[in-house]
Structure 1
């Protein structure tokens, strides 16, 4: 049994993790520990505080006791708002505190885009425009080309957590672009695990979502590779959706 640890801010879409654990069906346990979200606001200062070392360190001991082999800070905005170098510092501090390989959802997106063979991406975000632009800048620092940014202008994770299938599909459609080889939905407060195959069928290209890439990143850190088509082309050995040039 491979145990993987996730530090998840507050309570919004954490039920995606037991759902994905069932979909993986490969001797993997996904252990979620909730961190104090502080002020629930998609605002730059609040997001920086949400990912502060003290808030992350508070959940580390519980993950260690769970036997986790790797830990991922399961938050996109609470990492990319620090910028490329700041996000690296955050992960290094987390790895030191946990004594485990560590990463964050922001880096998970950068790695997952390469995994599906894409370079040009479209961002379909729930965030306000200023936060969305920070994510696009992070992706560019990772060497990716952002061909479109769609900002949903939602102010809190709590509101995002109430979205269902219709809202998720509408966001992805609105954020897609003909030149994009993959579409990214960067918010771990968004329920997406149940919709990944439908999203990719609808758009005809890989769709990468925050909780999906977070779990994939933890598996990567633990050197596990599992085939789970229900979780989209990222989790298939042979992509079910071919990237278009």
Structure 2
């Protein structure tokens, strides 16, 4: 059942997860048992959905109804369908610009990146379904509302998105310290998908194996890496500079 921006009831939340609804967090009653409850717990772990175990009084305050010991908070923004959104962009835009985020788990970085992406003309942001920061109120606030203005897409695996984009002529360019080329050596005027990873883990090695090019930002200081949202901003503004000159 629904109550504004929340879903409550164990089976209702299971169905919401199956339907790939954008769930920010799930509150579960402490000490609850049962097969269906364990099924929900397993799904939450598999999808890496943020979960808190709380007293029943907390759940009673969150919703008015038979919550069965489970309440889910929904995102205000729905994720877009991958294929239909990408096909629309490819048909509409002469030189589409896409942003793929791999293992970016900090919500404030996520929001800041979305804000910069919208400002620099990115046509869609693509994230993996598992292991990404939630598109919650903090991310939306940090984006300064940009999250409402740009398509955000979840996919099962970023490699599948890359394999889909490459035959359409989209160059996949990954930002990594392992690169030999500088960002200033890359031609961004053609259809491009920029791949960014977190400063802790970077881009998954298996993803790096399938990209078309790798690039890095030159760093002169003693600190060896930039915050991912700062690095993403520097790269996207180089893309924009090339495209408006």
Name whichever structure is richer in helix by fraction.
Answer: 1
TM-score when scaled to structure 2? 0.31
**Larger-Rg structure:** 2
TM-score, length basis structure 1: 0.31
